[in-house]
Amino acid sequence: MPHTPPAYQTEDAAGNIGFALRKNLVRVACEALAAHVRILAPRVLPWTDLARYAYRLAVAGKPSHVPDFAAAFEHMCMHTRGKAVDRRRRTCHAVRVPGH
């Protein structure tokens, strides 16, 4: 059976172009998210969270601790809006580089 994507662009009978979504879209999105989390977790989570996760996985056979990814990304990423970013933009624009 050929691979069919969960979302694809298509044209309907009236000639309008749009996107078709299949029933397996949520499953495929969950699998993709899980794969990305496996790659990102060691890069963004503090080593204490990684150690706690590994310890509980080794002792209990399944992890009972869910790492706090929200806190990890809050620490790693700068928000695109808000007072802190606006202040940072004003500061960056106010700085002049000599000779430019």
pLDDT tens column, 22-77: 888 888 888 888 888 888 888 888 888 888 888 888 888 877 777 777 777 666 56
Q: Coil, strand, or helix at residue 38?
A: helix
Confidence of residue 87 (pLDDT cuts 50, 70, 90): low
Domain ranges of the chain: 1-44, 45-100
Distance between CA atoms of residues 26 and 36, nearest Å = 15
Coil, strand, or helix at residue 25? Answer: helix
Given a contact cutoff of 8 angstroms between Cβ atoms, the answer to whether 50 and 65 are in contact is: no
Contacts of 41 (CB under 8 A, 6+ apart): 50, 67, 69
User: How far apart are the C-alpha atoms of 74 and 87, rounded to whole Å?
Assistant: 18
96 pLDDT band (50/70/90 cuts)? very low
